[in-house]
């Protein structure tokens, strides 16, 4: 089990890492920037997230992750203790919220609950016509073809499948596949669509000229 700890306070970070490393692999980062990079290269089972971070707000980071379809359990650890802070944290996509200073035993118990829940949970398959996408494995199936989506191809297909039948504009798709403070590469959406069509068939995604992109319906010619 691998945990990402996002915490800028050295004392707290060190003590948490020390306490948790007996049971888990813990990667500790101090910045949102580093956390973003880390979740792209590692598969985590849980994230411990402080809210006051030096380079960005933990809440916006979390909202952004959920918007992109990142489903890993997040436990907020923060000194912000008002009811409205807690509500905001949970509404932003956190699975649990623990107020500093907390007892290590309680933190570990809550981590166990979230990990247990995660292993029980099976995310529903997203499907439309002959297209299906398993969010847990990132495997896309279309007609007789199947393959695992890498990088930003996954949030792109996920965005299209979450609103089946809708035409999404280039800007809407860019918003889905990029983080809130990431620089958008020009043509990124087109590049991913091109690669998806090459792998799964040219008719997987339909370009509605001047409007955007949509998925091919089963009965569509
Ligand atoms: Ca902090």
Helices 153-162 + 188-200 axis angle, to 10: 80
Q: Distance from the CA of 50 to the center of ligand 1, in angstroms?
A: 6
Q: Distance from the CA of 123 to the center of ligand 1, in angstroms?
A: 32
Q: Distance from the CA of 112 to the center of ligand 1, in angstroms?
A: 23
Q: What is the mean pLDDT of residues 33-62?
A: 93
Q: Distance from the CA of 13 to the center of ligand 1, in angstroms?
A: 10
pLDDT tens per residue, range 104-146: 999 999 999 999 887 776 677 899 999 999 887 889 999 999 9
The DSSP secondary structure of 111-145, one letter per residue, reads HHHHHHHHHH--PPPEEETTEEEETTTTEEEETTE
**Contact at 8 Å (CB) between 122 and 134?**
no
How far, in Å, CA of 139 to CA of 99, rounded? 38
The alpha-carbon radius of gyration of the chain (Å, integer) is 19
**Contact at 8 Å (CB) between 98 and 89?**
no
Q: With 0-12 CB in 10 A as exposed, 13-18 as middle and 19+ as buried, what is 162?
A: middle
3-state SS, residue 76: strand
How far, in Å, CA of 90 to CA of 149, rounded? 29
pTM of the model: 0.61
Q: Distance from the CA of 165 to the center of ligand 1, in angstroms?
A: 43
> Has residue 221 got a pLDDT over 70?
no
pLDDT tens per residue, range 150-206: 878 888 998 899 888 899 999 889 887 776 556 778 888 999 999 999 999 999 999
pLDDT tens per residue, range 10-37: 999 999 999 998 888 899 999 999 999 9
Q: Distance from the CA of 25 to the center of ligand 1, in angstroms?
A: 22
pLDDT tens per residue, range 64-102: 999 888 889 999 999 999 999 999 999 999 999 999 999
């Amino acid at each position: 089990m691998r945990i990402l700890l996002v915490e800028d306070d050295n004392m707290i970070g060190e003590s948490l890492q020390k306490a948790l490393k007996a049971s888990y692999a813990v990667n500790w980062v101090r910045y949102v920037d580093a956390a973003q990079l880390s979740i792209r290269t590692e598969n985590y089972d849980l994230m411990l997230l402080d809210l006051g971070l030096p380079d960005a707000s933990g809440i916006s980071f979390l909202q952004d992750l959920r918007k992109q379809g990142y489903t890993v359990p997040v436990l907020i650890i923060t000194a912000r203790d008002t009811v409205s802070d807690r509500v905001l944290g949970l509404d932003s996509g956190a699975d649990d919220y623990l107020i500093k200073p907390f007892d290590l035993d309680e933190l570990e118990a809550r981590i166990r609950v979230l990990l247990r829940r995660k292993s029980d949970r099976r995310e529903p398959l997203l499907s439309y016509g002959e297209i299906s996408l398993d969010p847990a494995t990132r495997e896309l199936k279309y007609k007789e073809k199947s393959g695992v989506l890498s990088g930003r191809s996954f949030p792109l297909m996920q965005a299209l499948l979450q609103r089946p039948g809708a035409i999404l504009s280039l800007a809407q798709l860019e918003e889905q596949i990029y983080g809130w403070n990431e620089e958008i590469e020009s043509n990124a959406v087109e590049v991913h669509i091109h690669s998806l069509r090459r792998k799964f068939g040219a008719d997987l995604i339909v370009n509605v000229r001047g409007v955007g992109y949509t998925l091919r319906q089963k009965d569509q010619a």
